[in-house]
């Protein structure tokens, strides 16, 4: 690299064209993206990315977890790789920016570094991770690469195990391949990712870049209220033990408890299952699907305890029993402090503003953090919309984020002086 | 009949043996019955009843709706028939007394009338109606017999239409047969039924017999709260439009509104469907399945209007929209006043107590009321349990009810003097 490297910027036009091309497969009429991992639309998007890699003269690398990369030099050179990337899959009926923007930005960074005379052995790799969104298994590709995947994760996918098997076959993948995709820690220098915030902290504070300090822990619970099934016509209202009432009051109390006493946490009731679930039978069993998130495990534990007490009070009030079951947690994860500082110095160099913040969503960077120093930046999300066709980030903000990614990558690749 | 007819009573031992035999097929370990209409267990129960009819020397009659009868004389005699009966099917995991008790009591009445010298042309028929519980189509057999069934009812069964078709074939029935099973009005003199109350009005007032004045109207609604799906981690609690909150508050308000202002009605939320229905997505759509019941259509309308206003207030509070859809109603239906009086004079003759009350559940008697004078009596339900293995009526109370049925049948058959 030359001494004028501080003035290097990404190519806005090429970046926009590449982003447009990477968000064409699975586009919905409303302007969103519908490409759940390993669906036909998702596989089409991967084929598009593969073509782009080859057209631009980079090497294609695909591992046995389906992670798809563009490499300036093949990994055989042996140098630890600087990995940049994100994911091309979406939730069902998601938006265009979640994932695809990060892949497009990383690919643009790779191109602009080559344009500016990086030597032929520049160990940079741009990756699209498999199933970040967890259509089948959350953070599937990055967990496979970082060796965190277990047989159990793969035999209990979300959705039908048989459908998962068929989806893997459609993509030319296999369970054994997924379990065999771990890379050694010393093969990676660092991992950097750009993503949309999916919230409004940056927008409200008019900040250009969010430098992520870590991911919140995510804690999932199944809370089952147990009453007595009975005839909906003949059972007097005051003689019922109606599980619906316990579940309904608990749902309202979850929101109230968080808003009143845990403003640093979020909690959501995303589903309730009624049994037997008929117009004319008082429900004897309602299962509430709840998750809570906090960057502080102590606070998460306190909120869980408060909600356990709430569930007991609510069930007593309606003559019910309750079973409060912890289902699964994803631990909070810190980003590497050195990378946080590199991001901030790039922000300064570019004359932008930034703030440190936790990520309230999971990202591939948290898998990679177990393997190498990892870092993540956010660009603002207009209105905070996420997992929706309303997802939107102004293009200037995307360009600013890509430039921060570029300069941070260049700092990390600079021979230590 | 002889002049000593006032002293005639049913044979308690035979009645108990017959009831036991009629509740053996599909018995559950907890002591309930699991024989949804046209299931193997239900067809086994019908075969048992058919054997009992033949063993006791009565004629079997089965119509094209699968209604199965015991006749003292074949209908070819041309006299209008006094029809007595109930149903042998149950809800999934229901109780032993709901339906089977009424068939056993009617069958015992037929036997004791023959024992006491009814002439060979006594036009009495004891019937088991098909699918009273509406596993497929509510009151299927009695609606078929009274000519109230439409093609539309049969092409939109509860559950899968293909499974319904298979169930009909298994039972040797057909759609065209169901539509062709109507009997002419002049073929029936009256219809009488004994059933358990499925509530606690008799038990609490220590009354032996409930004489039903009519069935409540049943009104079913689908109330859909519409918000915005969003990321359950990154969307701040105060920025959400969470359909779960509207549905939960509405569910609590249904109970409160009825208990505070409509003690003469009941209303039930038996199910809610969440969309997309995941731990990590704020629900954008929750559909509430609600029904309300009242014997007074004016009161039902007022309650519906109150709940419509509640749904609007609740949805406004949480930034939602609401769609309040009336799905279906079953109109209230009066029992014949002459039959009510006959029941009451039998109660007096037997030295029992009775009260008039509306039925809060649907019964085959309401179908038959469109064809001929129809009447229904209740015996008490211990604790009011219904559609549950906890269903129980003390045997003495069953015997008392059967004696009321017997004397009312004898009054109706007595040559007018």
Task: Write out the two tokens for B11.
Answer: 């044979």
Query: Residue A362: left (phi > 0), alpha (psi -120 to 50), or beta?
Result: beta
For residues B408 and B346, the answer to whether their CB atoms sit within 8 Å is yes
Half-sphere exposure of A35 (CA within 13 A, CB side): 29
A238 touching B, CB under 8 A? Answer: yes
Rg (CA), chain A: 23
Please give the backbone phi and psi of residue A311, each rounded to the nearest 5 degrees, phi first: -65, -35
Whether residues A200 and B282 touch (CB distance < 8 A) is answered with no
Q: Convert the pLDDT of each residue in A191-234 to its tens digit.
A: 999 999 998 999 999 999 999 999 999 999 999 999 998 888 88
Residues 6+ apart with CB under 8 A from B152: none
Question: ipTM of the predicted structure?
Answer: 0.78
Res B158: pLDDT: 83
How far CA B319 is from CA of A94, A267, B92, B227, B274, in Å, comes to 22, 18, 39, 7, 17
What span, in angstroms and rounded, lies between the C-alpha atoms of B132 and A376?
A: 62
Res A160: pLDDT: 85
A222 touching B, CB under 8 A? Answer: no
Instruction: Please report residues of A whose CB lies closer than 8 A to that of B384.
Output: 230, 234-236, 239
CB atoms within 10 A of CB A206: 8
Task: Write out the two tokens for A323.
Answer: 């079973």
Q: Convert the pLDDT of each residue in B1-30 to its tens digit.
A: 445 789 999 999 999 999 999 999 999 999
Please give the backbone phi and psi of residue A381, each rounded to the nearest 5 degrees, phi first: -110, 120
Please give the backbone phi and psi of residue A3, each rounded to the nearest 5 degrees, phi first: -70, -15
What span, in angstroms and rounded, lies between the C-alpha atoms of B361 and A231?
A: 8
How far CA B189 is from CA of B63, B213, B340, B413, in Å, comes to 18, 19, 15, 9
A330 touching B, CB under 8 A? Answer: no
State whether residue A391 is helix, strand or coil: coil
Res B117: pLDDT: 77
For residues B178 and B144, the answer to whether their CB atoms sit within 8 Å is yes
pTM of the model: 0.78
What span, in angstroms and rounded, lies between the C-alpha atoms of A353 and A208?
A: 5
Instruction: Please report residues of B whose CB lies closer than 8 A to that of A91.
Output: 281
Per run of 10 residues, the mean pLDDT along chain A (length 417 residues) is 78 98 97 96 98 96 97 73 97 95 98 81 91 93 95 86 94 96 94 95 96 95 95 89 98 98 96 93 96 94 98 98 93 95 98 96 94 97 90 97 97 72
Determine the distance in angstroms separating the CA of A89 from the nearest CA of chain B, rounded to an integer. Answer: 16
A281 touching B, CB under 8 A? Answer: yes
> How would you classify the pairing of strands A266-275 and A68-71?
unpaired
Whether residues A270 and B278 touch (CB distance < 8 A) is answered with yes
The interface residues of chain B toward chain A in range 133-152, judged by CB-CB distance below 8 A, are none
Quickly list H helices, B56-138.
100-115
Whether residues B270 and A269 touch (CB distance < 8 A) is answered with no
Q: Is the dihedral of CA A135, A139, A143, A146 positive or negative?
A: positive
CB atoms within 10 A of CB A378: 29
Res A78: pLDDT: 74
Task: Write out the two tokens for A277.
Answer: 């679930």
Nearest to A399 by CA among A6, A5, A18, A2: A18
Task: Write out the two tokens for B85.
Answer: 């009966």
DSSP letter for each residue of A258-318: HHHH-TT-EEEEEEEEEES--TTEE-SEEEEEEEEEES-HHHHHHHHHHHHHHHHHHHHHT
DSSP letter for each residue of B355-395: EEEEESS--HHHHHTTTS-EEEEEE--GGG--SSTT----H
Nearest to A110 by CA among A184, A6, A2, A18: A18
Instruction: Closest CB to B271: pick one of A199, A235, A278.
Output: A278
Whether residues B218 and A200 touch (CB distance < 8 A) is answered with no
Res A388: pLDDT: 87
Quickly list H helices, B116-160.
140-145, 151-155
What span, in angstroms and rounded, lies between the C-alpha atoms of A410 and A213?
A: 21
The segments of chain B whose pLDDT lies below 70 read: 1-3, 74-77, 118-121, 415-417
How far CA A323 is from CA of A196, A224, A242, in Å, comes to 37, 5, 15
CB atoms within 10 A of CB A76: 7
Nearest to B181 by CA among B162, B159, B153: B153
What span, in angstroms and rounded, lies between the C-alpha atoms of B232 and A252?
A: 16
Whether residues B232 and A199 touch (CB distance < 8 A) is answered with no
What span, in angstroms and rounded, lies between the C-alpha atoms of B124 and B206?
A: 32
What span, in angstroms and rounded, lies between the C-alpha atoms of A243 and A225?
A: 5
For residues B332 and B365, the answer to whether their CB atoms sit within 8 Å is no
What span, in angstroms and rounded, lies between the C-alpha atoms of A341 and A254?
A: 37
Nearest to B290 by CA among B267, B260, B311: B267
Q: Is the dihedral of CA B346, B349, B350, B352 positive or negative?
A: positive
CB atoms within 10 A of CB B396: 11
What span, in angstroms and rounded, lies between the C-alpha atoms of A329 and A384?
A: 25
* Nearest residue in A to B260, CA atom: A237
Whether residues A384 and B239 touch (CB distance < 8 A) is answered with yes
The residue written with tokens 């995941």 in the block is: B278
Peptide bond into A80 cis (omega under 30): no
Kindly give the interhelix angle for B395-413 and B100-115, rounded to the nearest 10 degrees.
Answer: 50
Q: Which of A263, A279, A295, A328 should we substitute to test contact with B (largest number of B Cβ atoms within 10 Å)?
A: A279
Res B74: pLDDT: 59
Nearest to A377 by CA among A354, A351, A349, A393: A354
CB atoms within 10 A of CB B43: 21
Res A1: pLDDT: 46
CA angle B241, B243, B248 (to 5 degrees): 125
Residue B417: Cβ-neighbour burial (10 angstroms; 0-12, 13-18, 19+):
exposed
For residues A180 and A66, the answer to whether their CB atoms sit within 8 Å is no
What span, in angstroms and rounded, lies between the C-alpha atoms of A102 and A405?
A: 10
The total number of residues written for chain B in this structure? 417
What span, in angstroms and rounded, lies between the C-alpha atoms of A303 and A402?
A: 37
**Terminal alpha carbon distance of chain B:** 13
Please give the backbone phi and psi of residue B252, each rounded to the nearest 5 degrees, phi first: -65, -35
What span, in angstroms and rounded, lies between the C-alpha atoms of B258 and B340?
A: 29
Please give the backbone phi and psi of residue A187, each rounded to the nearest 5 degrees, phi first: -85, -10
Please give the backbone phi and psi of residue A111, each rounded to the nearest 5 degrees, phi first: -65, -45
């Amino acid at each position: 690299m030359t001494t004028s490297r501080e003035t290097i910027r990404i190519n806005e036009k090429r970046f926009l064209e590449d982003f447009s091309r990477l968000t064409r497969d699975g586009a919905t009429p409303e302007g969103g993206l519908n490409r759940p991992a390993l669906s036909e639309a998702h596989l089409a998007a991967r084929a598009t990315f593969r073509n782009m890699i080859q057209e631009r003269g980079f090497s294609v690398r695909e591992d046995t977890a389906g992670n798809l990369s563009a490499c300036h030099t093949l990994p055989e050179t042996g140098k630890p790789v600087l990995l940049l990337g994100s994911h091309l899959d979406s939730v069902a009926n998601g938006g265009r920016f979640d994932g695809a923007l990060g892949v497009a930005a990383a690919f643009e960074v790779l191109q602009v570094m080559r344009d500016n005379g990086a030597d032929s052995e520049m160990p940079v790799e741009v990756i699209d991770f498999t199933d970040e969104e967890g259509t089948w298994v959350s953070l599937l590709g990055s967990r496979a690469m970082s060796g965190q995947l277990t047989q159990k994760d793969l035999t209990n996918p979300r959705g039908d195990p048989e459908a998962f098997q068929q989806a893997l076959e459609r993509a030319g993948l296999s369970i054994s391949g997924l379990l065999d995709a771990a890379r050694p820690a010393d093969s990676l220098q660092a991992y950097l990712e750009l993503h949309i915030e999916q919230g409004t902290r940056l927008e409200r504070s008019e900040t250009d870049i969010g430098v992520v300090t870590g991911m919140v822990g995510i804690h999932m619970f199944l809370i089952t209220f147990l009453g007595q099934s009975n005839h909906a016509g003949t059972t007097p209202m005051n003689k019922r033990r109606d599980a619906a009432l316990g579940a309904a009051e608990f749902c309202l109390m979850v929101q109230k408890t968080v808003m009143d006493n845990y403003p640093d946490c979020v909690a959501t009731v995303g589903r309730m299952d009624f049994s037997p679930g008929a117009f004319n039978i008082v429900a004897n069993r309602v299962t509430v699907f709840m998750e809570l998130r906090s960057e502080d495990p102590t606070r998460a534990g306190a909120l869980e305890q408060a909600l356990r007490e709430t569930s007991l009070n609510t069930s007593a009030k309606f003559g019910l029993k309750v079973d409060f079951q912890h289902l699964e947690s994803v631990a909070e994860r810190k980003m590497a402090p050195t990378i946080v500082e590199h991001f901030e110095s790039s922000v300064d160099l570019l004359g932008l503003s930034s703030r440190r913040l936790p990520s309230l969503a999971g990202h591939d960077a948290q898998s990679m953090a177990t393997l190498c120093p990892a870092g993540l930046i956010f660009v603002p999300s207009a209105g905070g919309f996420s997992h929706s066709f309303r997802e939107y980030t102004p293009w200037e903000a995307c360009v600013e984020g890509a430039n921060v990614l570029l300069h941070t990558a260049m700092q990390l690749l600079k021979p230590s002086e």
